[in-house]
Amino acid sequence: MHHSSAIFRPRTLAVALVGLLAVGTALQAFASSRSGLRGSRSSMNRQVEQARAHDYTYLRNPSQLNHFVRKGWLVKVRPTNHFQLVGVSFPYTRPEVRTFIHRLGAQYKAACGEPLVVTSLTRPKTHQPRNASPRSVHPTGMALDLRRPKNSRCRSWLEQVLLSLEQKRVLEVTLEWRPPHYHLALFPAPYMRYVARLEANTTPHSYRVARGDNLWDIAKRHGVSVGTIKRVNNLRDNRIYPGQVLRIPSSRSVSTAR
């Protein structure tokens, strides 16, 4: 009697089923990450609600933006070894967004070996692109755009971290295609509470202040906020002096405790 080679023995069939299940799980995870980046009306609603909850103004033009900079409500973002600004017309944002960029940039560089690329920050209404949503929160200073990495490993790392933070309800992220980038709306107050919880669970180390140091530079180098350093060291203002020993909380990855 002729036996077809297409007939599976029990052991072979079991191995094949395990393989199919593994592929199915991987495809399900991929589909989940795609749908999580797709954006939706409810996502836009949450962004607008957060802008309203923070009492943010939708800036009309560059003149109003410059007024906010002079008041200190928007701060300048300067590129570092960890992130670049490419095509950013107005390198200003909310202080909490700058903290987010510095933290994420340091972690992305450590994970991928290349700098994070920021392509947009605050955009007043007169400088919104034609395809921008009329409900966009870019004019409030709480949004930023990140270039989509070409390297698949870096892309996967970045998407996982951003989706994890979205699940923690500290931001909303959407993948947009013209050009390929991630649009992020950061929720400043929830995000800073999240950072504070991370920093509270770290063991501080000592840092001796050198000549020319200031709190902003020290905080940036260690991936923590100025407010955290002041709180840990009971500082009433930003004045420090050479030789002073500060307790610095160790930075925690934004992807911790996903």
DSSP single-letter state for residue 184:
E
Residue 219 token pair: 């905080």
Integer-rounded Cα radius of gyration of the chain: 23
**194: Cβ–Cβ under 8 A, 6 or more apart, which residues?**
165, 168, 170
How far, in Å, CA of 190 to CA of 153, rounded?
A: 29
129, pLDDT greater than 80 = yes
**Cα–Cα nearest to 147, from 99, 172, 184:** 184
- How sure is the predictor about 253, in pLDDT bands with cuts at 50, 70 and 90? very low
Is 207 in contact with 248 (CB distance < 8 Å)? yes
Question: What is the pLDDT, as a whole number, of residue 12?
Answer: 52
Q: Which of 86-95, 117-126, 212-221 has the lowest mean pLDDT?
A: 212-221
Q: What is the pLDDT of residue 28?
A: 43
Over the stretch 44-91, which tens digit does the pLDDT of each residue have? 999 999 999 999 999 999 999 999 999 999 999 999 999 999 999 999
pLDDT band at 203 (very low <50, low <70, confident <90, very high): low
Provide the b/e sequence for 121-143 (b: ≥16 CB within 10 Å). Answer: bbbbeebeeeeeeeebbbbbbbb
pLDDT of 15 > 90? The answer is: no
Q: What is the pLDDT of residues 162-175, one digit of tens each?
A: 999 999 999 999 99
pTM for the whole thing? Answer: 0.70
**Cα–Cα distance, 148 to 159 (Å, whole number):** 9
| Phi, psi at 193, each rounded to 5° | -65, -40
Of the listed ranges 120-129, 143-152, 241-250, the one predicted with least confidence: 241-250
Q: Which domains does the chain have, with CATH numbers?
A: 36-190 (3.30.1380), 203-248 (3.10.350.10)
**What is the arithmetic mean of pLDDT over 166-191?**
95
Q: Token pair for residue 193?
A: 């509470």
